[in-house]
Amino acid sequence: MDHWAEHTCLTFEEASDLSGPHLEFKKLSGCYSSLGRLWWQSGRDSSIGENCDRIISNILFTHFAQLGIVAHEIGHAGGFFHEQSASDRHSNIQVNEENIIEDKLSQFAMQTIGIDVYSVLYDYSSVMHYGSKYFTKNGKLTISTLDPLAQELIGSRKGLSHYDKLLANRMYSCIDPWLTHCRFESDPCQNYGYIGKNCACVCPPGSSGTNCDITKAGYYANQEVFFPLGTKCTKKIVAPECYSPRVTFRSFRLYGRVTCSDGTSCCYYD
């Protein structure tokens, strides 16, 4: 909740009157939350149940998994669909229905209303995006990225991505009050940056400058990625003009596989 409050204008207070709309965190079965406010009941459950800290298999990164999972479920409670449900997904991913557990197909259903009006780009690194093999019934990919270089990006649970923050701040009309407070007539930030609560532009990865007007790299360039077990990665090596790329492995070794304290098998420092 602090993570959401830090990057948006949303605030959270402990509820003293449970007859009004409120969110209840419970340790139920699985990781889930209802989407947005349920008008027929005052409270809605967000379950952070058993194993909800094991999406990232390496025990070293459990903290990131826990933060991302709870941020993901708060996103649902705040009105966020899964990223792979976006109406423009066909330009970015392929959903492989033949590999999905039948009663989980609804988790991949495309949404055609609501979110589009906020004009935020599809984001492979969104905390709301499923990973490559979520709900697979046969070990094969349930989501394939059309850009093979992006396959390792989906399923991030490190926290809100830049476009997650931008979408939330547009959905909840956070930016206009900040512009007024900061005495801006219009938002000066470029390249999908936006004025933040401290009156400075919040710039997307790959851009910088006072107004996010300097573009040094793409949105996904140099993003830190943790690789869950079974992740498929594609790397593109580009040589200067008139040269051919060459990769030489002079030494290569992986640490041995070990059994972690939570009973999972993982390989450190791969």
Q: Which residues are catalytic?
A: 73
Cα separation, 232 vs 241, whole angstroms = 29
Q: Give Dmax over CA atoms of the chain in angstroms.
A: 71
Cα separation, 126 vs 139, whole angstroms = 23
Tally of CB atoms within 10 A around 222: 10
Distance of CA 75 to the CA centre of its chain: 10
Asked if 233 contacts 153 with a C-beta cutoff of 8 angstroms, the reply is: no
Write out the H or E segment, with its range, that includes residue 222. Answer: none
Distances, alpha carbon 251 to alpha carbons 174, 247, 248, 254, in Å: 52, 12, 9, 10
Q: Is 150 left (phi over 0), alpha (psi -120 to 50) or beta?
A: alpha
